Amino acid sequence: MKVLVADLFSKDGMEDLKASGIEVHYDAGLNGESLTKAMSEVQPNILVVRSTKVTKDMIDADPKLQMVVRAGAGYDTIDVAHCASLGVYVTNCPGKNAHAVAELALGLMLSIDRRIAENVQLLKEAKWNKGAYANCAGIKGKTIGVVGLGSIGLLVIERAKAFEMNVIGFSRQARPDLAKKYGIEVTNNLGYLLQNSDVVSFHIPGGKSTENIIDSELLSHMKKDAVLLNTSRGSIVNEDHLFAHLEENKDFWYGTDVFKGEPAGKDGVFDHPIAKHPRVYGTHHIGASTKQSEAAIGEEAVRIIKKFATQGAVDNENCVNRENSSDQIHKMSIRHLDKVGVLAHAFQVFANHQLNVQEVENIVFKDRLACVANIKFIGEISNIDQALEEIRKNENVLDISL
Ligand SMILES: NC(=O)c1ccc[n+]([C@@H]2O[C@H](COP(=O)([O-])OP(=O)(O)OC[C@H]3O[C@@H](n4cnc5c(N)ncnc54)[C@H](O)[C@@H]3O)[C@@H](O)[C@H]2O)c1
Ligand SMILES: O=C(O)[C@H](O)COP(=O)(O)O
């Protein structure tokens, strides 16, 4: 099994993979054409990335590719649909970097409230100005609206409660369980959350469905002196609208870890109007970049890779491009003797009746005398009875249940 690691990744993790007999190629500087070239030359079975873009060309350059591991949470940078069309798994490490991101979101909130960056900068310029920074608002008793109640959103809520803030959570589905567990208000009315929050923090995925959702219309519902926090993705913000909003509302602040058009490399020039705005606190997409978080992500990525290498298995909670089972899927269990050809016969019958097999599991019992094959399939209900009768006629089939 060959792994190409094309991004910053835990050294210990790579040693662990090598010790398990996995061939590891590492170059954290790969992206764009250099990554496509490496994919075609190395032909890894597994590609490991962080925020590095994984395009159709890169995927097509490697006929041996079986899995892309996103050593992180968001996978909007990966052509997931193209991977799915080729039977290539895309996996991520849900929740493993959530603490670090929640800490940064709250860090941005606190530092904006107390203008910590300006304080520090003035001292570096040998200037003392207690007067200018002695009247910040304070956080206790303020209301924070948290949009997206996943791994990060929930950790932000726990931390905001520790600061004695009121919390309104936004979820598209009713979540009385979360309201009760966290002692918060949960709403599916985003306008209500925006109108009633002093701080609004977004924790939703990037991608088509959330593109530019923070636009002038959304911003118009926020308090004039609110703080908007985005540790999610630059793509969720219409940055032109946000810039105009900042210009028109002189008490409005924006804390962000993410921007549209972030550089692909790890350093370089980044001349961005939002980042330079005086009422924006920006960081360099470092939400997940603590040692703790990188160790947790590394461990999880290594676990995913080793499980795949040794068992060919991928846990559902890691796989982001597996089809969900649907109401149209039928399940058949065939209890049969462990003889050659039983399943081949059953599959031939399925094919003859236009029944399309989706998932198969064959459990072998002690002493290898009997098995149970669990088969999930789709097809016309009217064809199933006939198929069932034909499979039942096989002398090595003990019973069938549907
Ligand atoms: N700044 C960073 O370094 C950093 C690190 C990790 C994650 N992230 C970003 O944060 C996002 C969230 O991470 P997570 O670990 O909490 O993921 P998660 O999957 O646990 O939670 C995302 C939540 O958003 C909800 N959601 C999706 N679309 C929504 C919408 N339109 N409106 C409201 N809710 C919606 C989902 O139902 C889910 O509850 C990631 O997808 C990633 O883009 C950034
Ligand atoms: O979605 C994520 O996990 C974050 O955006 C982290 O990105 P990074 O792995 O490139 O730091």
Pocket test for ligand 1, best of 7, 76, 203, 215 (most atoms within 8 A of CB): 203
Tens of pLDDT, residues 147-171: 999 999 999 999 999 999 999 999 9
List residues with catalytic annotation: 233, 262, 285
Instruction: Break the chain into its structural domains and give their ranges.
Output: 2-96+291-311, 98-282, 330-401
State which fold the 98-282 domain adopts: Rossmann fold (3.40.50)
Q: Phi/psi at 59 (nearest 5 deg)?
A: -65, -45
Read off the pLDDT of residues 15-33 as tens digits, 9 standing for 90 and up: 999 999 999 999 999 999 9
Cα 7 to middle of ligand 2, angstroms: 11
For residue 39, report the phi and psi dihedrals to the nearest 5 degrees: -60, -40
Which residue ranges have their beta carbon within 6 Å of ligand 1?
Answer: 72-74, 94-95, 97-98, 101, 147-153, 170, 172, 203-206, 209-210, 231-233, 257-258, 285, 287-288
pLDDT at position 267: 87
* pLDDT tens-digit map of 326-367: 777 899 999 999 999 999 999 999 999 999 999 999 999 999
> In this predicted model, which residue has the larger pLDDT, 264 or 361?
361
Contact 289 CB / ligand 2 (< 6 Å): yes
Specify the pLDDT at position 171. Answer: 97
- pLDDT at position 389 over 90: yes
Among candidate residues 17, 8, 4, 65, the one with its CA nearest the CA of residue 305: 17
Q: Is 308 exposed, middle or buried (0-12, 13-18, 19+ CB in 10 A)?
A: buried
**Span 330-401 CATH architecture:** 2-Layer Sandwich (3.30)
Whole-angstrom Cα distance, residue 151 to residue 96?
Answer: 9
Looking only at the bridges linking them, the beta strands covering 370-378 and 356-364 are antiparallel
35-53 tens-digit pLDDT: 999 999 999 999 999 999 9
97 pocket-lining for ligand 2 (C-beta < 6 Å)? yes
Question: What SS3 state is found at 125?
Answer: coil
Which CATH fold would you assign to the domain 2-96+291-311? Rossmann fold (3.40.50)
Looking at the chain, the whole-number percentage of residues with pLDDT higher than 90 is 94
Do residues 298 and 10 make contact, with C-beta atoms less than 8 angstroms apart? Answer: yes
Closest protein CA for atom 18 of ligand 1: 150
Ligand 1 atom nearest to 152, measured from its CA? 16
Cα 96 to ligand 1 centre (Å): 13
Q: Is the model's pTM score more than 0.90?
A: yes
Residues 6+ apart with CB under 8 A from 87: none
Rounded Cα gap, residues 60 and 39, in angstroms:
9
Distance from Cα 281 to the centre of ligand 1, integer Å: 21
Comparing 2-96+291-311 with 98-282, is the CATH topology the same?
Answer: yes
Pocket test for ligand 1, best of 204, 215, 289 (most atoms within 8 A of CB): 204
For the record, the structure tokens of 55 come out as 């395009």
79 phi, psi to nearest 5 deg: -75, 80
Length of the chain: 402
Q: What is the mean pLDDT of the chain?
A: 96
